[in-house]
Each structure stands twice: as C-alpha cells, then as structure tokens.
Chain A
Amino acid sequence: MKLSVLPLLLLGVFGLAVATDYPLDAPAPDGRRAGGTISQSLPTPAIANEENKDLKRERNYPEQPPTIPHSISGYQVDANGNKCLTCHSRAGSARSQAPMISITHYMDRDGQPLAAVAPLRYFCTQCHVSQHEVKPLVENDFQNIDQLLQGEAANAAKP
C-alpha cells in the first residue's frame, strides 16, 4: 500500500513543479524576428529586390559614403578585377558618365597620391552598399545638420 503511493506522490510533486504560471514556449523577442514563439518555425521572409533606380540619394552628412543606387548582383570584386571600377574609375567615368570615385580613393593612408586606386579603398562594398526595397526594421529619428539648425533657429525665434 505504502509503496504504491510513493510514485504517485512523486509524480504529483513533479507535476506541481512543471505547472509554472508562465508559458515555457516564450514569445520571441520583438524586433528583427517579429511574432511567433521561440520554438515556432515561421516562413522565411521573401528576399527583397535591390533598388535599381539610378537616382542619387541624399547623404545624411557630408562624409557619408554614398549608397549605391543600382543593382550590383554578380559584380566581381576580387584580386583579379573590380567590376565597379569599369565605370567609376577615373578613366571609366567619362565613358559611362558614372560619378568618379573621389580623390581620397587614390591616396594611401598617409595622404600620398597614388597612380591607381589604393588597396585600402579597393573593396567598394566595405563602405558603399546597395539598398533593398524593404520597410526599415526599426524606426530611425536621425536628424541631419540642416534639420538641427532649423530647429535651433526656430527655438531662438521664440520669445
């Protein structure tokens, strides 16, 4: 009699421990992985298209590396060659009418001008990236310098 009670008792205690007041399968953190729970598999979001409008985008500050306004899929940039430079190099930009890469790209890190693109600057996508047609994952309330100055001027005008 006593022996048959013990397993039941153990089971009861164990069951109490498991029955927590919070769900074990917690919801996933909001943000990049919206919705669902940790253990749930959701369909992969579709891969968005690269923006390919060829319209220069405004820079947020003068030093910002400009983003690429066209598709660069399949562009080979390695030790053998640099597809970007066929249009954006000094010699290529006249033929293609694409903007020439800036003079800083022809300088080594000590500011010495070089004959060709500095190895330091060779891999374009380290700084310049194309953009995809997606909704931003997080909101951005960045204000550029013009907006800041305007705000300040507006504040100063207030009595």
Chain B
Amino acid sequence: MKSLLALLKDYWGILRRPSVHYSLGFLTLGGFVAGIIFWGGFNTALEATNTEQFCISCHEMRDNVYVELQATIHYSNRSGVRATCPDCHVPHQWTDKIARKMQASKEVWGKIFGTISTREKFLEKRRELAEHEWHRLKTNDSLECRNCHNFDYMDFTKQSPRARQMHSTSLAEGKATCIDCHKGIAHKLPDMSGVPGW
C-alpha cells in the first residue's frame, strides 16, 4: 500500500512538472488534434451502432422484429418516409442516447449467451421485452413517437372521427400518451393478457 502511494506520488510529480522536451505549442496543438481524433472516432463508432444495418446484422433482429416491421406503415407507405430501428428505439438527444447505449450493453450480453437465439426463446421472452419498451415510452411521454408526430401540428380535421375524438381529449389533456393506445403498431404483440385496455 505504501509503495503504491509512493508510485502515485511519483506520477503526480511527473504530471505537475513542466514539460522539458516538448514545446507548449506542440502540447496544446497535439492535445487538440488528438482530442478531435478520439472524440470523432468515438462518435463515429457510436453512430455506426445507431443504424438499421447494424441492428439487422444479428439474426435475432433481422428474422423477428425486422420482418414484422416491413408490413407496417412505418416501413412501407404512400409517401416513402420511413422509420428505422433507432428512430424509435434510441433517444435522439446525446445524454439520453448515451444512457440508452449503456443499458444496451445488456443486449450484448444477451447476444453472446444466446438469450433469444431461437424463435422459440424470442417468443417466450417477447412479453418482457415489449414491457421494457412500453415502460420506456410511457415514462418519457412517448418521446420517440413525438420526434416525428408533433401534437402541435396535428390537423384534427384530417383525422378520422374516432382518432379526432381520442386525440383532442385524452392526448390533449395529457391523460394518455401515444403508447397507451398505439401498442404493437410496428411489431406483432406478445400475449396481451393482463395488459390494461386489452
């Protein structure tokens, strides 16, 4: 313990001492350039994991949820605007995104140990996985939906009478959020027994 303290003290000494061989200009510029490279590299790697191509590079996603998405309006529609996996499943703001990415390290664990490596395993775990997403969207007031579907710009006159009725009351008053009613719009639902409203 004492030797460790002495070692740390030595290093602290080196850090505190002014540089002997390198100029101040080299150190500041070098630090700046290295910072750009490391930060840029980190962000590039982060963005690479934030693409649909990355998600469906695993068969768990490609053969289950991605196939289901393809039949829905969020994949194929008249105007050709579509949502990719991270649009709905990863927060767009940086801090929230990092938080979600740290959570996702659990998914790497699941991948390594094959938690949902077969269709049967996936179906068995589906309710739990779905509940995670419902909970996330419920607690952040369906933020990922609202990234595109902004309440302020909804034209109720263009909506069907039922949609108008619900959106102008429950949604407008904040009593309900998107996910309360719109579960299973992009993927098939698990066994819904016991879910409120089902």
Q: Do A and B come from one complex?
A: yes
Chain A contact residues, CB within 8 Å of chain B: 52-54, 70-71, 74, 76, 79-83, 85-86, 92, 95-98
Name A80's contact: one of B73, B166, B185, B189 (CB within 8 Å): B189
Chain A neighbourhood of B195, CB < 8 A: 81
Q: Is the CB of B190 within 8 A of A80?
A: yes
Q: Is the CB of A81 within 8 A of B198?
A: yes
Residue-by-residue, is B175-187 near A (CB-CB < 8 Å gives 1, otherwise 0)? 0000001001100
Instruction: Please classify the interface of chain A as helix (H, G, I), strand (E, B), loop, or mixed, using the class held by over half of its residues.
Output: loop
Closest CB of chain A to B58's CB: distance in Å?
Answer: 24
Q: Is the CB of B188 within 8 A of A80?
A: yes
B82 within 8 A of partner (CB): no
Q: Is the CB of B160 within 8 A of A71?
A: yes
B161 within 8 A of partner (CB): yes
Q: Is the CB of A81 within 8 A of B191?
A: yes
Name B72's contact: one of A54, A70, A74, A82 (CB within 8 Å): A74
Q: Is the CB of B189 within 8 A of A81?
A: yes
Chain A neighbourhood of B2, CB < 8 A: none
Chain B contact residues, CB within 8 Å of chain A: 72-73, 160-162, 165-166, 181, 184-185, 188-192, 195, 197-198
**Bound state CA distance, A85 and B197, in angstroms?**
9
Q: Is the CB of A76 within 8 A of B160?
A: no
Interface centre among A80, A82, A86 (most CB of B within 10 A): A80
Q: Is the CB of B160 within 8 A of A54?
A: yes
Q: A70-B160, A70-B162, A80-B190 are in contact. Are A86 and B185 (CB under 8 A)?
A: no
**Bound state CA distance, A80 and B134, in angstroms?**
16
Name A74's contact: one of B73, B190, B197 (CB within 8 Å): B73
Closest CB of chain A to B71's CB: distance in Å?
Answer: 8
Q: Is the CB of B184 within 8 A of A76?
A: yes
**Bound state CA distance, A86 and B189, in angstroms?**
14
**Bound state CA distance, A71 and B190, in angstroms?**
23
**Bound state CA distance, A86 and B161, in angstroms?**
17
Residue of B nearest to A79 (CB): B191
**Bound state CA distance, A70 and B161, in angstroms?**
10
**Bound state CA distance, A85 and B195, in angstroms?**
13
Chain A neighbourhood of B190, CB < 8 A: 80
